[in-house]
């Protein structure tokens, strides 16, 4: 029987929060992608896992070296993925159960995907430019402003963007000023083709259990935003799983992968919004013990607060406020920090400043900012 402390120590190591990864791409691959809805948070997530890496290094990996790619990943949310993992992710995401489109017929959706594959093959375009190109290749119906947006309506073809991302014909390009652009992921990985769906799903489960296990099909379903019943059937079809118990509760690991670190979980970490460790590790009540379950989650959802991680479990929240080259970091611990913990926390704040190329200062006190929407 495994203990919760052993599981925490193992996860910290495999998330490169105990020992650094060799590169930004290795860090992203290890955790199944870095959530990138907030790019500054993604830069911190990667930087914390690679010694000496700054946000400039993350940007170089993404836009110059192209070892990272910004596209849709788990939960169909924007992630930084290792470029070499693109075949696996597109193969797996294309095989997930999805709801039918409401504004496009199946035929129209296929026409839009084909148009995007054509126009994005060797260029980067903004949404407005893509509308012109897609309409020219499909028909005026694609440009009908019928899809609800934040302050108005988007053109009809936009509904097919998630499908195009899953199929592997669309990813993010570099911003053009304040405008987001899109391009084809084959520009990151020449010769790229999606992996066979069954093989891709098996590999995603393997990766998940290596980084986040022991875990259950329900945990995997939440991480992927997939139906629990579908995940249970997927697990039952795989021949490389082994059942173990963690403090008496059953869960799965990769067969034979039952080794645990000799040392207990240790260390203080400041994880940014939507960091993979907080979002993907379960059970929630063990990762977010006691007061953390109410204070550091938003309606049970992880990621909406930056987390103070102590010995592998959430022990507080934090917030940063930037002004030029200075960052004021406020940390709200849920319990008393001894002198050693405070020194570790000061070092972690300094590291956050280094990653973000600024001077960071620490205040221990109440975080008055609400959850990120």
Segment 30-56 mean pLDDT: 97
Convert the pLDDT of each residue in 193-213 to its tens digit: 999 999 999 999 999 999 999
Nearest-angstrom CA–CA distance, 114 and 99: 20
Q: At which residue do the structure tokens 């489109």 appear?
A: 101
Mean pLDDT in the chain?
96
Ranges of each domain in the chain: 268-364
pLDDT at 241 over 70: yes
Token code pair at residue 135: 């309409």
pTM of the model: 0.96
pLDDT tens readout for residues 121-162: 999 999 999 999 999 999 999 999 999 888 889 999 999 999
Cα–Cα nearest to 117, from 166, 82, 159: 166
Burial 52-89 (b: 16+ CB within 10 A, else e): ebbbebbbbbbeeebbbbbbbbbbeebbbbbbebbbbb
Specify the 3-state DSSP secondary structure of 206: helix
pLDDT of the residue at 373: 53
Q: Do the beta carbons of residue 171 and residue 182 sit within 8 Å? A: yes
Residue 31 pLDDT > 60, yes or no?
Answer: yes
The pLDDT of residue 19 is 94
CA dihedral 138, 140, 142, 147 (to 10 degrees): 180
CA 174 to each of CA 43, 70, 129: distance values in angstroms, whole numbers, following the listed order = 15, 9, 15
pLDDT tens digits, one per residue of 167-179: 999 999 999 999 9
pLDDT digits (tens, 9 = 90+) for 244-297: 999 999 999 999 999 999 999 999 999 999 999 999 999 999 999 999 999 999
Q: What is the model's pLDDT at position 256?
A: 97
Distant-in-sequence, close-in-space partners of 25: CB < 8 Å, separation ≥ 6: 61, 67, 68, 82, 83, 84
């Amino acid at each position: 029987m495994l203990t919760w402390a052993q599981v925490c120590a193992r996860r910290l190591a495999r998330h490169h929060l105990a020992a650094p990864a060799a590169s930004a791409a290795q860090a992203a691959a290890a955790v199944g992608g870095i959530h990138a809805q907030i790019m500054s948070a993604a830069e911190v997530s990667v930087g914390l896992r690679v010694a000496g890496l700054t946000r400039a290094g993350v940007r170089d990996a993404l836009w110059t070296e192209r070892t990272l790619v910004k596209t849709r990943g788990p939960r169909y949310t924007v992630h930084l993925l290792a470029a070499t993992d693109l075949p696996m992710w597109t193969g797996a995401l294309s095989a997930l159960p999805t709801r039918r489109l409401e504004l496009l017929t199946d035929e129209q959706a296929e026409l839009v995907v084909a148009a995007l594959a054509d126009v994005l093959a060797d260029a980067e375009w903004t949404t407005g430019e893509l509308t012109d190109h897609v309409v020219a290749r499909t028909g005026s119906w694609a440009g009908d402003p019928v899809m609800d947006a934040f302050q108005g309506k988007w053109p009809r073809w936009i509904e097919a963007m998630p499908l195009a991302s899953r199929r592997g014909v669309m990813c993010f390009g570099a911003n053009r000023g304040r405008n987001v652009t899109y391009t084809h992921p084959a520009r990151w990985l020449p010769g790229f083709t999606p992996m066979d769906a069954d093989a891709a799903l098996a590999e995603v489960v393997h990766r998940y259990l290596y980084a986040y296990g022991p875990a259950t099909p329900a945990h995997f379903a939440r991480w992927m935003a997939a139906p629990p019943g579908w995940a249970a059937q997927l697990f039952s079809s795989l021949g490389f799983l082994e059942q173990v118990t963690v403090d008496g509760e059953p869960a799965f690991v990769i067969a034979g992968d039952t080794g645990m670190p000799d040392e207990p979980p240790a260390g203080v970490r400041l994880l940014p919004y939507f960091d993979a460790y907080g979002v993907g590790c379960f059970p929630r009540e063990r990762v977010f013990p006691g007061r953390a379950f109410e204070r550091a989650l938003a309606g049970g959802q992880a990621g909406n607060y930056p987390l103070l991680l102590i010995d592998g479990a959430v022990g507080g929240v934090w917030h940063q406020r930037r002004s030029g080259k200075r960052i004021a970091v406020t940390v709200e611990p849920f319990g008393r920090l001894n002198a050693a913990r405070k020194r570790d926390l000061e070092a972690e704040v300094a590291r956050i400043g280094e990653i973000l190329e600024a001077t960071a200062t620490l205040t221990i006190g109440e975080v008055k900012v609400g959850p990120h929407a």
